[in-house]
Structure 1
Amino acid sequence: MKPHARRLDGFRQSTIRAMTERCVAVGGINLGQGLSRTPPPDDLLDHATAHFASADHSYSPAHGDAVLRQAVARKLAEYNGVHVDPEHGVVATIGATGAYNAAVLAHLDPGDGLLLPEPFYGYHRTVAEIHGVVPQPVRTDAPGFRIDRAALEAATTDRTRAIVLCTPGNPSGHRMPPDEIEEVARFAADRDLLVITDEIYEHLYYGDEPHRSPASFDLLRDRTITVSGLSKTYSIPGWRLGYAAGPPELIAPLRIAADALSVCAPTPLQQIAARAFTLPDSFYARTRQDYRRKRDRIAAAFRDAGLATNDPEGAYYLLVDGTPLGGDSGEVAETILSAAGIATIPADAFHLGAAPYPYVRACFALTDADILRVEEHLSEVKWP
């Protein structure tokens, strides 16, 4: 019997999960995986406790429970400026990655090209490759990480069918401003490309400008699948609730794919989690303020230890420059883990080839107790 399907040849466990296991084995502090160790909102937990028994414990419709779909549609209209039909334009999924997986399966054939601006979220590449889709990296440069027309042209071939936009970006923290979205929109229209957005960090940003969803721009409205979820904003990644939204003609095949992949997202959690969309604006403001404070503390700790960081505009990751430690990004991550007891993710996980410089990603979605431990470890570290 052969050991596995040939489509998995060359694939290994994700670097993010592998580093989490390494961290657990050495008793380290995990700044690698985005585990959202900050607590969920009390209102949501209280609602879950009060209503779990009375929730529906059977299957939901394949595209999701009506309560959640309607809540998502209202939120998209009010917050994102994206108007969708909750019956035909929204699909609830097993996390945002489930929505992305269904979008790729529904709309791209093996051999099709998918533009991925680097640095990219590793699962965007892995999911594409498992479905036989060819990742086409689009170069962006630190510290701005802006996508420009020249880089898009250089990465595109006659097989290119779609582009993924992640804003705020994982791992970069870059937020796409309107002029950048418009430049990408013109390119996508000229090339007739599908646009898949990942907006899982849409509420986590640190400047004054609000989040801008690509699908709210005229040129992208009819060609964009918006992907997001509840994991990051509400610190409930284990609930595995995401969604895809867009025009009915784009969502109809995605609905079939999502059904085939997982039947449905957990019904009682869908119904309970819809409560999250009723939280007041003050919750989001407090959340951003709290993450900004955590970002600044972790960044200061790395800088005091001699390692420069970027200044992310959104999401909850820092890019830490490991150049002073020597070696490639994998060696830098090993040095930080062995010398400081802190797990990070090497840059090569976010690039199709070698990263342009030896940085690592560090997550700051931590409890204050863990942030204090990070500060203590880095204040005492002696680099080899």
Structure 2
Amino acid sequence: MTSSARPLLNRRLAGFGTTIFAEMSALAVKTGAINLGQGFPDTDGPEEVREAAVRALREGRGNQYPPGPGVPELRAAVTAHQQRHHGLSYDPDTEVLVTAGATEAIAASLLALVEPGDEVVALEPYYDSYAACIAMAGGTRVPVTLRPHEGVFRLDLDELRAAVTDRTRLLLINTPHNPTGTVLTRAELAAVAELAVERDLLVVTDEVYEHLVYDDATHVPLASFPGMRERTVTISSAGKTFSFTGWKVGWITAAPALVTAVRSAKQYLTYVSAGPLQYAVAEALALPDSYFTGFRDDMRARRDLLTAGLEEAGFGVFRPAGTYFVTTDIRPLGYDDGFAFCRALPERAGVVAVPNAVFYDHREAGAPFVRFAFCKRHEVIQQAIERLSTLRRQL
């Protein structure tokens, strides 16, 4: 052990520690609680996609290093997907980069595009890796808070505009939004695009839940707005859409200069990954429309089941328009500290959730909110509801 008084951990990462997901998942294992905290499905995705991975393994496709930008079949499939679902045209050779999940795509984008002293405006609450990646790049995180209004979380466009300074380099946008379930409207996205063009900002947009939008909500890629294609890095992945989160296959689409910049950072992270799985994801992206609509409809039914149960149990519920998470307010149950509530919940009700405050710089703004995941089997959600129904009797 070194005798130096200097901390071992790089000061940019001081304060991050173990993620809340690891803590709560370990608590679920320890107590035997139902884990509605971490966002992973409890069933695998389509059998034909899994078999495509097996076939690639057996045929020796991808068992050695695949090409740095990703296998050509997957890059072509990504461009076909963007054209088919969003009307966006990309060149598979120069405008697509395959990554080790969306998390690496975020890390590589921020490491490539942000320098020490640059400000990055991010919507708060935010997925926890955003903060760590901005810190590793040496950037300064500037949160703009989504605030509850009439049962949903809303972006204050005036607050967003006020957050941009001469030091702002990049906007980090997530829609459909984790953890709030908000889907930014076309008008809101148009305002974001107008601001980015006016202030000559780069934009990294995390759209991994692009196929999980419900009711009247519509996902509109930010890159589709005037002036945005050349300044936007769009991120998505196979994990959320096809329920293979362990495969860690993600991608970016962007103009050639942006892809080149991000690839320069990405090549020194994993270089390449998931060779055989890339071929399987290429086949998954070509599944018929019935798969995507069926997947969305099934998740919507799970959302409806869980939100109804949470309301009956006494939670204040923000009905999500997208993703597979639902944010709740614990104050109607007599609590205002999400950390304490979530750490006690496994023993009290046999269910694990995540405190939203971990996704905030302004911890007090997220203190009374708790996130549950509904990407679980219907019978598991029902069992969780039955356990949570005991909370009111404990008041």
Equivalent residue, structure 1, for 2:304: 296
Task: Map residues 1-384 of structure 1 onto 2, 5 A cutoff.
Answer: 1=2, 3-54=8-59, 55-142=61-148, 143-323=151-331, 324-356=333-365, 357-381=367-391, 382-383=393-394
Residues 305-330 of structure 1: CA deviation (Å, up to 9, x unaligned): 11121110010001111112323121
DSSP-derived class of the 1:52 partner: helix
Q: RMSD over aligned Cα, in angstroms?
A: 1.6
Q: Which moved more, 1:102-111 or 1:17-26?
A: 17-26
1:299 aligned partner, one-letter code? T
Q: Which moved more, 1:20-29 or 1:152-161?
A: 152-161
Tell whether the 8 Å contact from 1:149 to 1:187 is kept in structure 2 after alignment.
no
Counterparts of 2:211 and 2:79, CA distance in 1: 16
Residues 245-278 of structure 1: CA deviation (Å, up to 9, x unaligned): 1000111010111111111121111112211011
DSSP-derived class of the 1:374 partner: helix
Tell whether the 8 Å contact from 1:325 to 1:332 is kept in structure 2 after alignment.
no
Counterparts of 1:73 and 1:94, CA distance in 2: 18
Q: Which moved more, 1:151-160 or 1:1-10?
A: 1-10
Deviation for aligned residue 1:51:
3.3
Q: Which moved more, 1:148-157 or 1:174-183?
A: 148-157
Deviation for aligned residue 1:338:
2.5
Counterparts of 1:334 and 1:56, CA distance in 2: 43
DSSP-derived class of the 1:225 partner: strand
Residues 92-129 of structure 1: CA deviation (Å, up to 9, x unaligned): 00000111111001100022111111121111112111
Deviation for aligned residue 1:77:
1.5
Deviation for aligned residue 1:16:
1.9
Deviation for aligned residue 1:19:
1.2
List, as ranges, runs of 4+ consecutive aligned residues in structure 1 with deviation greater than 4 Å: none
Percentage of identical aligned residues: 35
1:284 aligned partner, one-letter code? F
Deviation for aligned residue 1:208:
4.2
Aligned length: 384
TM-score, structure 1 as length reference: 0.96
Counterparts of 2:126 and 2:358, CA distance in 1: 8
Q: Which moved more, 1:199-208 or 1:48-57?
A: 48-57
Counterparts of 2:216 and 2:308, CA distance in 1: 22
1:229 aligned partner, one-letter code? S
Counterparts of 1:289 and 1:14, CA distance in 2: 31
Q: Gaps spanning 5+ residues in structure 1: where?
A: none
TM-score, structure 2 as length reference: 0.93
Q: Which moved more, 1:221-230 or 1:344-353?
A: 344-353
Deviation for aligned residue 1:209:
4.9
2:79 aligned partner, one-letter code? A
DSSP-derived class of the 2:192 partner: helix
DSSP-derived class of the 2:316 partner: coil
Residues 197-255 of structure 1: CA deviation (Å, up to 9, x unaligned): 00000001112454210101112111100000000010001000000110001110101
2:302 aligned partner, one-letter code? K
